[in-house]
Structure 1
Amino acid sequence: MTQPSMAQGCYRHPDRPTMIACQRCRRPVCPECLVPAPVGVQCPECVRQGHRVTRTGVGPLGGHRSANPQLTTWVLIGLNLAVFGLLLATGGADSPWAEVLAITPLGTCLAGTGHYYPGVTDAAACAALPEATGWTAGVAAGAWWQALTSAFAHTDPMHLGSNLLSLWFLGPPLEQVLGRARFLALYLISAVGGSLAVMWLADASSSALGASGAIFGMLGGLLLLARRFGGNYQLIGGLLALNLVITFANTAAISWQGHLGGLLAGLAVTGVLLAAPRGPRRSSWQWAGLAALTLLLLGGIAWRAIMLG
């Protein structure tokens, strides 16, 4: 049960002070107005809204409830596995596809397995180096697809396994609350947010790949949803904090930029979904906000690419 820090007037009977608040909308309710819920209490309006949602198959944020909330997660897992299979079949970490799909702000002058020449800014300079094995163009050189494909590419089985395990645990409950379209928006926009952070904060000649940015965005989204709807957000916050500690303790091997950017983008996406006013135009406000956020992220990537070019 949620309790205000001090007595407030019931939202339906202002002359009746109460220390009890609705679990969903947080408005103060007096004993006459409260309705017992499976967890805490709710006000009459939230109970009626819940009944309408149940009847119409609409989720708490306006998205249509998926008949199978695991389906989208399975599709995303399948895409990641398919790309991993392609990279594995063409050389693994040495696959030419790895450099094509991974995000590199400027470009990479390769120097053998897992090595590159930092500070080399173009193909001509790379070709002049005797031990260079090739040049791979980055986003600034026109490889714009890397802002999204990097989130589906893995060359290390442990990296792939940890990301797909997280996706399996986080995806279905998020889709159940958000609906399929909004869950996909959270995943993909978080991935783009991770790419934006890589563009601005990582070495311009380095590269990054993996679904971790999208996973961090999902964690951020789940944290806000749990906080809004009375879930165990302390546990989710602790899990998120642990992952951030691991990230920043191993920055030599982990793209902290992608993790941080994905997290912030996931928080922003979920904030847009939660902030949209209820009513018949709620979905319109949500999708307009998500479109604006996506354009902002893509604009930031394009701006950085122009600066590097």
Structure 2
Amino acid sequence: MDQAPGSPQGPEDHSAQPARSPGCYRHPDRETGIRCTRCERPICPECMVNASVGFQCPDCVRGASGGGPAPTAARPRTIAGGTVTADPRLVTKILLGINVAVFIALKASPSLRDHLVLVGTWPPAPFTPTQGVAEGEWYRLVTSMFSHEAYWHLAFNMLSLWWLGGPLEAALGRARYLTLYLVSGLAGSALTYLLASPIQASLGASGAIFGLFGATAVLVRRLNYDMRPIIALLVINLVITFGWSSIAWEAHIGGLVAGVVTGYAMVHAPRERRTLTQYGTCALVLVVVVGMTVLRTAQLT
């Protein structure tokens, strides 16, 4: 994505000089490679305060606890440039609530399922198709992301959403986190529509959840944390994905790839072009989603 620009040298300086790390904002004589995850100022080990994601500086910690930031402190931001909020799980709670509400609605009215699931054409031949994405019902790419039929399926996805979503929402900010979730889910739906049987109905938030897995791996790597736990969990889920015949593996892989690409843009975007890089990458992923959908529709009609 982006490469850090090299340090400029004087016109007569032909020797390679090692790049100096910035000095701590409170102790300028102490070089450090760590930055506050809220305001992004460099901080030395003495000034680092453990946070739910990375480290924060003393000023941001005082501001979060009600003491107010120092007058010269930059506005608190997440590692991805999002706004720090009082409830870092609000969007996660809303997404969880929507999934549960749709599940209850499906249990109350089973016939609603046929209008929400992801299917290319329905009913199958020799009947004339009247429903499906190929018939113009593109909304199914979205509604299927919030639909579940089995209790265990809902429980597994919602536990994963709560476990992965909270830290990601805190690290990215609400808008970026929601964008990541939706883009990943749409990528999973589009790849399922492209590769799966046109009469195979699928539903579930798994595509979006695997997008959160991918973005979490990128974030963990960015913060130099131990990646073994997230890799082990991801491998286990991939084994289940390809080992269980009733699982739409296309949604998992599509969501995972979109989550890695989008997550990388979110946490590695250069500060001076951060918003353009982040949302521009999301737009490119959505272009691919639209392209896959148009291609499959042309094949089926």
TM-score in same-fold range (> 0.5): yes
Alignment of 1:173-192 (within 5 A): 173-192=167-186
2:122 paired residue among 85, 89, 108: 108
2:264 paired residue among 271, 284, 295: 271
* TM-score (normalised: structure 1): 0.75
Tell me the secondary structure at the aligned position of residue 200 of structure 2: coil
Cα displacement (A) at 1:307: 2.0
Q: % of aligned pairs identical? A: 37
Paired amino acid for 2:100:
L
Paired amino acid for 1:35:
C
Q: Are 1:259 and 2:278 matched, yes or no?
A: no
Q: Are 1:22 and 2:33 matched, yes or no?
A: yes
Contact 1:186 1:270 (8 Å CA) reproduced: yes
Residue aligning to 2:24: none
- What is the CA–CA distance in structure 2 between the aligned matches of 1:152 and 1:163, rounded to whole Å? 10
Contact 2:188 2:207 (8 Å CA) reproduced: yes
Paired amino acid for 2:231:
G
Cα displacement (A) at 1:228: 0.7
Question: CA, structure 1 residues 164+220, in 2 after alignment: closer, same or farther (shift >3 Å)?
Answer: same
Q: Are 1:306 and 2:262 matched, yes or no?
A: no
- What is the CA–CA distance in structure 2 between the aligned matches of 1:54 and 1:229, rounded to whole Å? 22
Tell me the secondary structure at the aligned position of residue 162 of structure 1: helix
Q: Are 1:289 and 2:281 matched, yes or no?
A: yes
Alignment of 1:106-185 (within 5 A): 107-109=121-123, 120-121=124-125, 125-126=126-127, 137-185=131-179
Cα displacement (A) at 1:21: 8.5
**Deviation per residue, 1:109-154 (Å, 9 max, x gap):** 3xxxxxxxxxx34xxx227xxxxxxx66111111100111100001
Cα displacement (A) at 1:295: 2.2
Paired amino acid for 2:293:
I
Paired amino acid for 2:33:
C
Question: CA, structure 1 residues 54+221, in 2 after alignment: closer, same or farther (shift >3 Å)?
Answer: farther
Residue aligning to 2:25: none
Residue aligning to 1:230: 224
Tell me the secondary structure at the aligned position of residue 270 of structure 1: helix
How many residue pairs end up in the alignment? 256
Contact 1:216 1:260 (8 Å CA) reproduced: yes
Question: CA, structure 1 residues 9+223, in 2 after alignment: closer, same or farther (shift >3 Å)?
Answer: farther
* TM-score (normalised: structure 2): 0.77
Contact 1:100 1:136 (8 Å CA) reproduced: no
Q: Are 1:98 and 2:113 matched, yes or no?
A: yes
Paired amino acid for 2:122:
T
2:78 paired residue among 51, 59, 69: 59
Contact 2:34 2:43 (8 Å CA) reproduced: no
Cα displacement (A) at 1:23: 5.3
- What is the CA–CA distance in structure 1 between the aligned matches of 2:73 and 2:234, rounded to whole Å? 31
1:83 paired residue among 102, 119, 140: 102
Contact 1:66 1:175 (8 Å CA) reproduced: no
- What is the CA–CA distance in structure 2 between the aligned matches of 1:21 and 1:70, rounded to whole Å? 31
Contact 2:262 2:278 (8 Å CA) reproduced: no
- What is the CA–CA distance in structure 2 between the aligned matches of 1:144 and 1:258, rounded to whole Å? 16
Cα displacement (A) at 1:47: 7.9
Contact 2:34 2:44 (8 Å CA) reproduced: no
- What is the CA–CA distance in structure 1 between the aligned matches of 2:265 and 2:287, rounded to whole Å? 14
- What is the CA–CA distance in structure 1 between the aligned matches of 2:227 and 2:73, rounded to whole Å? 24
- What is the CA–CA distance in structure 2 between the aligned matches of 1:263 and 1:10, rounded to whole Å? 37
**Higher strand fraction (1 or 2):** 1
- What is the CA–CA distance in structure 1 between the aligned matches of 2:215 and 2:224, rounded to whole Å? 14
- What is the CA–CA distance in structure 2 between the aligned matches of 1:103 and 1:182, rounded to whole Å? 25
Tell me the secondary structure at the aligned position of residue 87 of structure 2: coil
Further displaced range: 218-227 or 283-292:
283-292
- What is the CA–CA distance in structure 1 between the aligned matches of 2:281 and 2:249, rounded to whole Å? 27
